[in-house]
Structure 1
């Protein structure tokens, strides 16, 4: 069965499979929704660049977000999607970027395929990964209460994970904690790239809000956030040392363990203000 043929009653990004469920009363066969994961090849100007293992929905967002967060283009108007082609082997996204931008790809050429839906995995050199992040220009500061409002809303905006239990989500909130956009994917990097692409298409100012992710805060996620100018990135799990170092240099507020009304701020805590009630304790 083709994983990309969607039954009308199936959640987008999922496929139905038969599974044997077992418990103390024995075994039974039931139909279960499973998250789709397929190879998605990214081609620029007729040349292959990377292969991501991704959920095959919102692929235009993925292509644009990846191109922006990996600094392959500077603005959305520099990318043209020529086609999204499906085959039994996977999906190929054919894109075109200005020749001057395409010329720099030779220094960051990927060894295909990439693994783990990762913007770093498959890179040909360390230099192509550890590029200097831009310093975030936004002076945004938010109250911690806004962060927790957005996190609470995110739990209700993950239909694919609710159906399958197998995906990550990335959301973007305004400074007041109103969740504006959410994207899901089996890969945490892909979820953030889809979000970045959707923000660019909607012309949402990355510097006027913050991002939240349902994963650890890895270097790659911190780099992607910094690259597009998001001033605060909050993750429900821990950060890594390299993510903290990058956040320090990029003026990115990096928050970990953001859940259940708590959080830990690892870089630039001045961007996350205590609410007035908390600060008076």
Structure 2
């Protein structure tokens, strides 16, 4: 059965024991440039899996703080372009024009070597509103969610190359999953899907298959997420930022152990 975001390719499989190579078909995760245009302004080009792009658009705008609430998000239209890749045209309410123009101006200072210029560095390390949400979540709920996530990773099971982000109830029940070739994109898609479904992030926790980086912590803080659980390890800056902003952070979530920062 075809899976959105995956395309079958044919390969020659070789074997260490010298067995005769054979031709096999394997599904690969789709990766494509997605040009994001917001209110007619070219904002960014992201490498992403072209699935659930309307969720991605809303989550991206929320994470970028271009809008304060989903009510300011009007529409998103995704179309594949002949030159390759996708165009994602987003329309925001007029109230988002100021933040949009300011962020677009700062993005002009970003180079391939990283963020350049003191203004851009200040923007990246900008102080965020601390997490206000509080949810009593026992470790057993985290174990339950982390173990259940594998069965819900449709794209991941087919390609073995997808990151996943899951929205979970306090008891560990998973209510939403989104996947992408990029871990940041998977989280943005989840945030957008939750907003479309009118599910408050503050009343849930999030599990990610990825290592926990600074950017993922930032997105979780902006979303007012009370708990972020990652399957892989966290970076130093991720832990520092989580502690500074009141985000409960758990990493290296395994079947029998986890680390709480």
Is TM more than 0.5 here?
yes
TM-score under structure 2 normalisation? 0.91
Residue in 2 that maps onto 1:28: 22
In the other structure, the counterpart of 2:155 is 160
* Partner residue of 2:214 out of 215, 219, 244: 219
Q: 1:15 aligns with which of 1, 7, 21?
A: 7
d(CA) in 2 for partners of 1:238 and 1:123?
A: 28
Which of 80, 90, 95 aligns to 2:90? It is 95
> Residues 112 and 181 of structure 1: is their aligned pair in 2 closer, same or farther, counting only changes over 3 Å?
farther
Count residues in correspondence.
253
Structure 1 equivalent of residue 245 of structure 2: 250
What are the ranges of 5 or more consecutive residues in structure 2 without an aligned counterpart?
Answer: none
Q: Say if 2:137 is the partner of 1:170.
A: no
Residue 257 of structure 2 is aligned to residue 265 of structure 1: no
For residue 258 of structure 1, give the secondary structure of its aligned residue in structure 2. coil
Equivalence for 2:102: 107
Structure 1 residue 209, shift from structure 2 partner: 1.4
Give the 3-state SS of the residue equivalent to 2:252 in structure 1: strand
Does 2:175 align with 1:180? yes
| Distance (Å, rounded) in 2 between the aligned partners of 1:49 and 1:202 | 26
The answer to whether the 8 Å contact 1:256/1:263 transfers is yes
What corresponds to 2:44 in structure 1?
50
Displacement, 1:261?
A: 2.3
Answer whether contact 1:107 1:128 (CA < 8 A) is retained. no
- Give the secondary structure class of the aligned counterpart of 1:156: helix
User: Residue 50 of structure 1 contacts residue 112 of structure 1 at CA under 8 Å; is this kept in 2?
Assistant: no
Give the aligned partner of residue 39 of structure 1: 33
Secondary structure at the aligned position of 1:163 is classed as: helix
Match of 2:56 in 1: 62
Aligned equivalent of 2:236? 241
